Amino acid sequence: MSVVTQNIRANAEIFYGDEICQEKIKLRLVEMGLPNNLLPLKGIEECGYVKDTGFVWIRLKNEMKYNNEKIKKVTSYTKEITAFMEKFKIKKLTGVKSKELLMWIPLSEVSVDTPLTGKITFRTSSGLYKSYPVSAFQIEDVKKEAIGASVAKEAQVVKEV
């Protein structure tokens, strides 16, 4: 059962489709001072953001796993991921697990100490945590230009209306 209620949806920006949702997620991560490849998701059906509360959700077509070669860790994503985003932090994260030894550990919080130069820390609800370099979750790519163009295009659309 989804935690995204009709009330939440009524106050949210909602997008549909993998390409636009990936773009919006990366844009939101960058706006919050988080690395742009923190959520390397594929097959996104829907994503939403409630600006007033910072609540975000992402719905995937299928559960997926991602192997981050830079830190040699596998992360598992359920069909629905939810969280509250604020500057340099993701709180009350659901739908994301990291494999440690032979166990899948649910993650509940992600925070960046010093944006884009320091450490990113992943926490569980039980208090366990692990830190990595922010660069392990950052990709330098030509999509930065596309994200910038998208923001400019949205600004232009707002002005036209």
Q: Residue 33 falls within a domain, yes or no?
A: yes
Is the predicted pLDDT of residue 115 greater than 80, yes or no? no
Q: Residue 12 falls within a domain, yes or no?
A: yes
Encoding tokens for residue 80?
Answer: 């629905």
Q: Residue 151 falls within a domain, yes or no?
A: no
Is the predicted pLDDT of residue 161 greater than 70, yes or no? no
pLDDT band of residue 155 (cuts 50, 70, 90) is very low
pLDDT band of residue 140 (cuts 50, 70, 90) is confident
Q: Residue 144 falls within a domain, yes or no?
A: no
- For residue 131, the tally of other CB atoms under 10 A from its CB is 13
pLDDT band of residue 50 (cuts 50, 70, 90) is very high
Residue 109: name the closest of 98, 125, 97, 95 by CA.
125
Residue 17 or 118, more confident = 17
E strands, 19-123, are 44-50, 55-60, 64-68, 73-86, 89-100, 103-106, 109-112, 119-123
Q: Residue 73 falls within a domain, yes or no?
A: yes
Domain span at residue 48 reads 6-136
Q: Residue 155 falls within a domain, yes or no?
A: no
pLDDT of residue 79: 97
Is the predicted pLDDT of residue 139 greater than 90, yes or no? no
Is the predicted pLDDT of residue 39 greater than 90, yes or no? yes
Q: Residue 39 falls within a domain, yes or no?
A: yes
CATH number at residue 39: 2.30.240
Q: Residue 86 falls within a domain, yes or no?
A: yes
Residue 160 or 129, more confident = 129
Domain count, the chain: 1
